[in-house]
Each structure stands twice: as C-alpha cells, then as structure tokens.
Amino acid sequence: MQTLHIRLATEEDLPSLLSLLSQPDMDGDNVIPLAEAREIFRRVAPDWNHQIYVASADRELVGTFTLLTVDHLSHRGARSLIVEDVVVKTAWQGKGVGRHMMEFAVARGRRLHCYKLVLSSGLARERAHEFYEHLGFHKHGYSFLLPLDTRASC
C-alpha cells in the first residue's frame, strides 16, 4: 500500500468527504448538500472534542472517521473516545486503510488518557463487525436507539 496520511479534515475536503459518505454501505443517496456540510463543518471544526479526520494516499482521500471526546464526572473524571462515521473508499477496502485509521484512533485515545474507546455499527454491517472484532474490539452491552428526527436516518 502507498503511504497513508491521516490528518484533520479541512473545509476543502468536504466534496471528497461527501463522496465517501454517499457510498451504498454508508448514507447512499441520502447525503447532505455541500452548502449544508460547510455550515456543519464550520460549527464543529473549532471544537477539539469533535474532530473529523481524513486518510489520504497519494493526494487521494480514501477514508474518513470522526472522534468525539467525552469528559466524565463518573469514572473518576476519566475521558472516553467515541468513533463515528468510519468510511473507507470502496476501491481501498481490504488494503489496510481502516486498520490504520483505527490504530490512529486508539493511539489518540491513549494520548488523551481515555479509559475506553467505543463505536457502534448497524446490525446489518456484518463485514464491519468482523473487521472490528479482528482488530480486538468486542461486543459489550447493548446499544439503544430512539429516533428523534424523522428527516435524519440512523
């Protein structure tokens, strides 16, 4: 595999990010318009607790993920790290991109002294579950969902 670089996303990455998110195994045709993405990006980019990352190889954006840091009053004031919106470009799946992104996330969680790293994955995403389990993740507890806005898909 070519050298993979992971960095914080910039506003200029949004068209490529939206393309990744429009893959059938992610949001498909239900991706937001670029103008709305810019508005959201501008709102979350200054928040160090909400960081959107991109993975690129030879200047091509090949993956993305988001890290959300949570500071707890419980667990003796420890932090946890939530991984969201993990996507690897279809042509790059199986080439180590996802593994590299998750290793980056784990390292970030350790640097932040997080006591756990968690992610959720839809029940139908069996290949993703196998991938996460292969990396050492294990099923823990239950995830509950209560849809609040019918315009958004969960």
Give the domains, in start order, of the chain with CATH numbers: 4-134 (3.40.630.30)
Give the type of residue at 116: K
Q: What is the pLDDT of residues 62-77, one digit of tens each?
A: 999 999 999 999 888 8
- Residue 76's pLDDT is what? 86
Structure tokens at 127: 């290949």
If residue 81 lies in a helix (H) or strand (E), which one and from where to where?
strand 79-88
Among 43-52, 82-91, 145-154, where is mean pLDDT lowest?
A: 145-154
Q: Do residues 63 and 91 lie in contact, with contact meaning Cβ atoms separated by under 8 Å? A: no
Please report the pLDDT score of residue 30 as a whole number. Answer: 83
Q: What percent of the chain has pLDDT over 70?
A: 96
Average of per-residue pLDDT values in the chain: 91
Total-model pTM: 0.90
Residue 8 pLDDT class (50, 70, 90 cuts): very high
pLDDT in tens, 33-44: 999 999 999 999
φ, ψ of residue 59 to 5 degrees: the values are: 70, 5
Between CA 86 and CA 101 the distance in angstroms is 9
Q: SS3 string of 87-154?
A: EECHHHCCCCHHHHHHHHHHHHHHHCCEEEEEECCCCCCHHHHHHHHHCCCCCCCCCCCCCCCCCCCC
